[in-house]
Amino acid sequence: MSERNKKDKTIGGKSLYSLILKLLPGRNNRKTVLSVIVSFLLLSLMSGFWIDYKSPAPLKHSSKHKEDEKPNLEPIANKPTKFSFCAPMSLVSASDGDTLKIKNPSNEKPQRIRLLGIDAPELGQKPFGERAKRYLLSLLKSSDQGKLCCQTGREALDKYGRTLAYCWAGDHFINALLLQNGHAVSLFIGNKNNDYKDLFLALEEEAAERGVGIHNPENPLTEQPSDWRKRKRYAHKADSPRSSDGV
């Protein structure tokens, strides 16, 4: 087969090369059109390559903070079959984001409960402290069983006389939900009350990855609650007048 015949492979009875010769008699015109066609095909192939292998857009945390968002009430851990005590929700209130109060009808002094394994921002850490308290109150109201049930830790009281406990509002694990929704950080003191340590650490990491609550990248909590308390105590001591005996 001649070189000319090799070029004139037919498409629908007519070769592409023959059509170009017929439509464009000038040699320079033929070269120009062929160059355009080749360039177009190359650009098409390159464009398809870059489209297929375009790198994905980076993940972005939401910059919106919903102060009154409904609590995430996904199941987190199996509810204990036995509790140390339960109380009607009508007697329960919140002092801050990690402390509950239960009215005692027979005693003027309420029972104070410090939620174990977590540390919520203090009320002075605005706006995070108030948000944590509101969230805790929303969890109490979400109970469909109308009572708070708590399981005390192996160390039942702290140095302030508060009951140390893990608490459930109906089927909702309060300590864990505060962490999962970005209204507290994990806190473990000693080795006695670490029953849910692995779970709590995982929930805190999840909240940080989602950028919710105190982990909001555009407005994060910049000081740990424990550090804030220490700083306030030192400032209070520095401002307090010394007594005559120097104490």
For 77-97, how does the pLDDT look when each residue is reduced to its tens digit (9 = 90+)? 678 889 999 999 999 999 999
Q: Is the pLDDT of residue 177 over 80?
A: yes
Predicted TM-score (pTM) of this structure? 0.67
Q: Which of the four pLDDT bands, split at 50, 70 and 90, describes residue 208?
A: very high
Cβ(183)–Cβ(135) under 8 Å?
yes
Q: Is the pLDDT of residue 43 over 70?
A: no
pLDDT tens per residue across span 98-155 = 999 999 888 778 999 999 999 999 999 999 999 999 999 999 998 777 899 999 999 9
Residue 48, sorted as left (phi over 0), alpha (psi -120 to 50) or beta, turns out to be alpha
pLDDT value at position 142?
A: 85
Q: How far apart are CA 152 and CA 133, in angstroms?
A: 21
pLDDT value at position 138?
A: 95
pLDDT value at position 115?
A: 97
Hunting for tokens 């192996």 — which residue is that?
A: 154
Q: Which of the four pLDDT bands, split at 50, 70 and 90, describes residue 34?
A: low
Cβ(62)–Cβ(218) under 8 Å?
no
Q: What is the mean pLDDT of the chain?
A: 78
Q: Quick one: 35 exposed, middle or buried, by C-beta within 10 A (0-12, 13-18, 19+)?
A: exposed
pLDDT value at position 78?
A: 74
